[in-house]
Amino acid sequence: MAIRSAQFVKAVTGTEGLPELQLPVVAFLGRSNVGKSSVINSLVRVKKLAYSSNTQGRTTAINYFCINKSVYFVDLPGYGFAKLSRDRQEKLGKQISWFVGESSVPFRCFVLIVDAEIGLKNSDHATYALLADTGHRIVLVANKADKGKQNDVAKNVLTLRTMFPEATVVRYSAKTGEGRNELLSILLEDKD
Ligand SMILES: Nc1nc2c(ncn2[C@@H]2O[C@H](COP(=O)(O)OP(=O)(O)OP(=O)(O)O)[C@@H](O)[C@H]2O)c(=O)[nH]1
Ligand SMILES: [Mg+2]
């Protein structure tokens, strides 16, 4: 279940140009700033593989990383970033919908990252519905579990488990590594 290699492959900026090499895809989605890039970095234990920071690190493309030469981790731009123009937000939304619905992509699963402290927002519900429509497995990651009131975190994780019994819910912290082994074993399965 170890990560033996991780390489950046490609940034897809529009709604075409996916990598030619077909490998199973684990796609990371979530609101802007929720920690998608940080979760990927923490999983592969390479600090800047999927660059993360407050503003400069904002992911603006569909970034493909090849893991163990056998699976792609795909870092998507975040939705719900209020500072973007409406036009740009709409384009991002379209790009995300295109990607998750793209029948040529062999998805292994979707990792929907939510904020463990804040809980679900409307945009998370909408994204969950979009992902559920595809029929692929959804893993809900409650990230930033190290932050804020632990009571709130516990309550929000419980809500996720109750609300989405068909999903796998993982309490996670990209900062402390909580949940890393559990999430890795789910994402890499026995095939790797
Ligand atoms: N305390 C804490 N901070 C975190 C955690 N994960 C991410 N962050 C911080 O949250 C901020 C955003 O992280 P990113 O990984 O860039 O978030 P993102 O979802 O990729 O953001 P976009 O690419 O803009 O959609 C950074 O300042 C991270 O250091 C976590 O588990 N705990
Ligand atoms: Mg990012």
117 lines ligand 1 (CB under 6 A): no
Helix (H) / strand (E) element for 74: namely strand 71-75
38 lines ligand 1 (CB under 6 A): yes
Q: Is the pLDDT of residue 44 over 50?
A: yes
Q: Is the pLDDT of residue 69 over 90?
A: yes
124/91 Cα distance (integer angstroms):
18
- Residue 36 CA, ligand 1 centroid: distance in Å: 7
Domains of the chain listed by start with CATH number: 6-14+22-180 (3.40.50.300)
87/7 Cα distance (integer angstroms):
32
80 lines ligand 1 (CB under 6 A): no
Mean pLDDT across 141-162: 97
pLDDT of the residue at 53? 44
pLDDT of the residue at 147? 95
Q: Is the pLDDT of residue 95 over 50?
A: yes
- In this structure, which residue's CA is closest to atom 4 in ligand 1? 144
The ligand 1 atom at the shortest distance from the C-alpha of residue 113 is: 19
Taking CA atoms, 71 is separated from 27, 34, 164, in Å, by: 11, 23, 26
141/156 Cα distance (integer angstroms):
11
pLDDT of the residue at 192? 42
Mean pLDDT across 167-173: 98
pLDDT of the residue at 57? 59
DSSP 83-113: TS-HHHHHHHHHHHHHHHT-TTS-EEEEEEE
**pTM, to two decimals:** 0.95
42 lines ligand 1 (CB under 6 A): no
**CA-wise closest residue to 65 among 3, 144, 152:** 3
**CA-wise closest residue to 173 among 134, 138, 144:** 144
Helix residue ranges, H only, the chain: 36-44, 86-100, 122-134, 150-163, 180-188
pLDDT of the residue at 75? 95
Percent of the chain with pLDDT over 70: 94
- Residue 22 CA, ligand 2 centroid: distance in Å: 23
Mean pLDDT across 40-61: 75
Q: Is the pLDDT of residue 137 over 60?
A: yes
Taking CA atoms, 136 is separated from 15, 38, 167, in Å, by: 20, 23, 10
One-letter amino acid at 109 equals C
Q: Cβ(72)–Cβ(26) under 8 Å?
A: yes
